[in-house]
Amino acid sequence: MMTELNDVVHYYLDVENDFLNLNQLLGREIEFSFEGYQCLSCGKEKKIFRQGFCYDCFYASAQVGDWIMKPELSQAHLDIEDRDLEYEKHVQLQPHVVYLALSSEVKVGVTRKTQVPTRWIDQGATKAIEIVEVPNRYLAGITEVALKDYVADKTSWQKMLKNEIVEANLIEEREKLKIHIPEEALPYFLHNNGKITEINYPVISYPKSIKTLNLEKKHLYSGKLVGIKGQYLIFEDNTVFNVRNNEGYRVIITIK
């Protein structure tokens, strides 16, 4: 889903040759019918392995190299290729941000500067602050690794969807973590950044318990949409659907 930060996040589902404004569908019945697969890389109707890619593309494409999930493995700054050095330089050798976000509890994360605030929205964060801005992905990665010994690096997606969020002062948390930032990245610490981004989501009601929709097991599902948060659709019967995790699945969507 594509997003736009406003008073409430606006969500747009990228469908074939068009976009669907999901905010306008709150309170409406939506039906999903699973039709098959289409790899995001090769376009073939092959079973999706991970992240929208078939097995062969997942282990060949530069878009899903290990450094994507583990930024500390980035080596383009050393002129070392993983799968495609030109692509890796394009992505890795640009400004990256290490941030603190409040999605279930305080967590540390990494994103390209150009992905702020999109990354925070995708994680369902209600507040976020940039703490370090570095010139490449490697420096951001080693900073995250150092800080995750003192703060979480993952969101509890169940708590995020139930809106069970701890109270925390992100500026105070940032100051506590400063002493743990690696020496290489410390010159890039954002001392005077007091900007906390607050994010509100289009949610009528949060689920009390959670049932996940698996399109491979349940090919047909219909439910009333009552919320959108992170990359999840929330339905009235407590079913949640992770759109990002189902990339590469061909689905017919019917609005009732």
pLDDT of 14 above 90 = no
- d(CA 32, CA 47) in angstroms, rounded, equals 18
Torsion from C-alpha of 212, 218, 219, 223, nearest 10 degrees = -50
pLDDT band at 16 (very low <50, low <70, confident <90, very high): confident
Mean pLDDT for the stretch of residues 225-239: 97
Give 150-206 pLDDT, tens digit per residue.
999 999 999 999 999 999 999 999 999 999 999 999 999 998 888 999 999 999 999
Retrieve residue 72's tokens.
Answer: 């500390």
What is residue 200's predicted lDDT score, i.e. its pLDDT? Answer: 97
Torsion from C-alpha of 180, 181, 187, 193, nearest 10 degrees = -90
Give 40-57 pLDDT, tens digit per residue.
999 999 999 999 999 999
Under DSSP, the state recorded for 113 is G
pLDDT of 222 above 80 = yes
pLDDT band at 87 (very low <50, low <70, confident <90, very high): very high
Q: With a threshold of 0.85, does the pTM exceed it?
A: yes
- d(CA 178, CA 87) in angstroms, rounded, equals 32
